[in-house]
Amino acid sequence: MVAQKHAMSRILPPLLPAVFAALMTAPAALAQEYDVGDLSIVDPFALATVGNAPVAGGYLEIVNEGEADDRLVAIRVAPEVAGMVQLHEMRLEDGVMRMDAVAGGIPVPAGARVVLERGGLHVMFMRLPDGLEAGRQIPATLVFENAGEVEVIFAVETRGARQEGSQPGPSDAATDHGTAQEQPSSHGN
């Protein structure tokens, strides 16, 4: 006897691109995707602070489907949420993780997918008067050099809610931002 395997083929209803684009402009709790010009901003989230820690990391992806380079130059949030927001970059330098503000913003080349993630480029919410509590929704404005401004919402999640990169590396949010970060690499020495 041979068990017959049935490949379930599901026929998706055709989606008109124009309709799809129109849907994307509405606040979509599930999709968590925002469009501005040729750019899509996907899944913005921030990591909850431990207690009332004054800094928290923010993460998202930017897809540039256009033919022109662009650049994320700034992020704004209400001052009662964070007194300052910077674009940061973490990198391993001589066996030491360092974090610096990115000078001139984050390039988003034509056709590229730029990922802001733990251990790399990220948004740094700073001077948080009350920390960031899991479950909060943080409205923010992303400012692009060419595409202009777009409103997004950062969903605040607990640490470990997702395993991105699965690196137990240095926490960028739990450390002091007054100076360049100096944390020993787990591979060093």
Q: Which residues bind Cu ion (CB under 5 A)?
A: 88, 99, 124, 172
Minimum separation from the CB atom of position 118 to Cu ion (A)? 10
Minimum separation from the CB atom of position 86 to Cu ion (A)? 7
Which of 75/147 has CB closer to Cu ion? 75
- Residue 156 pairs in a beta bridge with 46
Which of 17/178 has CB closer to Cu ion? 178
Minimum separation from the CB atom of position 96 to Cu ion (A)? 15
Half-sphere exposure of 25 (CA within 13 A, CB side): 8
Which of 64/86 has CB closer to Cu ion? 86
Which of 75/124 has CB closer to Cu ion? 124
Minimum separation from the CB atom of position 189 to Cu ion (A)? 24
**Lookup result for tokens 């949010």:** 173
Minimum separation from the CB atom of position 46 to Cu ion (A)? 12
Minimum separation from the CB atom of position 13 to Cu ion (A)? 43
Which of 84/153 has CB closer to Cu ion? 84
Which of 39/46 has CB closer to Cu ion? 46
Q: Which of 83, 54, 49, 50 is nearest to 156 (CA)?
A: 49
Q: Which residue is nearest to Cu ion (CB)?
A: 88
- For the chain, the DSSP string reads --PPP------PPP--HHHHHHHHHS--TTT-EEEETTEEEEEEEEEPPSTT-S-EEEEEEEEE-SSS-EEEEEEEE-TTT-SEEEEEEEEEETTEEEEEEPTT-EEE-TT-EEEE-TTSEEEEEES-SS---TT-EEEEEEEETTTEEEEEEEEEE-TTSS-STT-----SSSS--SS---EE-TT--
